[in-house]
Structure 1
Amino acid sequence: MPHSALVTALATGVGQTIGWSTPEFAIAFVFAIIVMYDAAGVRQAAGKQARILNQIIDEFFQEDSQFNEDRLKELLGHTPFQVIVGSILGIVISWIAEFSY
């Protein structure tokens, strides 16, 4: 969620200060979309894979074994709802910052 809020606030701030139809805003907007896609999609999928691999390791090595397995980190990404809330928070923070000047 902090990633989404940060990049959305960045894109909104660029749009507010430089303009909504500028190349700078387009770059910031695309950057925000990529970061939010990564937070919700790619990282979430990696977390699911880690959960499945940990389950396989648990089932495969239930008996006494000399194998010293390291558990994979399962909570890597955010849910789509968290990403949306983060982006709304970023927009709100950017608008508040604009009006406080």
Structure 2
Amino acid sequence: MDALPATSSSSSYLLTNYPLISALLAFVIAQSTKLFTSWYKERRWDLKQLVGSGGMPSSHSATVAALAMSVGFQEGFGGSLFATALILACVVMYDATGVRLQAGRQAEVLNQIVYELPAEHPLAESRPLHELLGHTPPQVIAGGLLGITTAVIGYLFIIAVR
């Protein structure tokens, strides 16, 4: 596929920045989807899902996948800008299933330990740690696919309006 022409300085408004719009739209769709996947799982609406981390699909993965794909469409898949966006996406997605997921699991264990402390212990009344930090591999894959799909639909839309 031919690369889309780079935005010129005279039309570099945020509203015409295809990679930025693609990434933000993927983020919004992913966060909105979490509201419904949470309802399906728990049968209750949890509006915190709109701004929270963790859950299905990974909005971090959707955002960076959409960014990388749209940069590839706009600048070409053989350039250094696409390579940079792709490496960023890989690091973010790896981190979501690695460090952040493990930190969330550690928070679960620590919260359980604090919960079992005697009432007179100084930490017994401490606020619980946030447990839902990272993502499982299926959540990251779903977010990545959502991001790629968002970028492809955006690219097809741009081609159609030309």
Same fold (TM over 0.5): yes
- Distance in 2 between residues matched to 1:35 and 1:13, nearest whole Å: 17
CA distance in 1 between partners of 2:115 and 2:151 (Å): 46
Task: State how many pairs are aligned.
Answer: 99
Please say if 1:25 is aligned against 2:74: no
Choose between structure 1 and 2 for higher RCO, CA contacts under 8 A separated by at least 6 residues: 1
Tell me which residue corresponds to 2:154.
97
TM-score by length of 2: 0.58
How far did 1:66 drift?
Answer: 5.2
State the shift of 1:56 in Å: 1.5
- TM-score when scaled to structure 1? 0.91
Distance 1:46 1:33 in 2: 19
Q: State how far apart, in whole Å, the 1-side matches of 2:75 and 2:133 are.
A: 34
Q: Note if 1:71 corresponds to 2:128.
A: yes
Q: What is the alpha-carbon distance in structure 1 between the residues aligned to residue 68 and residue 102 of structure 2? A: 26
Which segments of 5 or more consecutive residues in structure 1 lack a partner in the other structure? none
> In the alignment, what sits opposite 1:88?
145
Q: Kindly report the root-mean-square deviation, in angstroms, between the aligned alpha carbons of the 2 structures.
A: 1.1
Residue 56 of structure 1 is matched in structure 2 by 113
Give the structure 2 partner of residue 7 of structure 1. Answer: 64
Distance in 2 separating the partners of 1:17 and 1:44: 33
Aligned-partner Cα distance in 2 for 1:48–1:66: 23
Which is richer in helix? 1
Distance apart, 1:55 and its partner CA = 1.4
**Correspondence for 2:38:** none
Q: Which runs of 5+ in 2 are unaligned?
A: 1-57
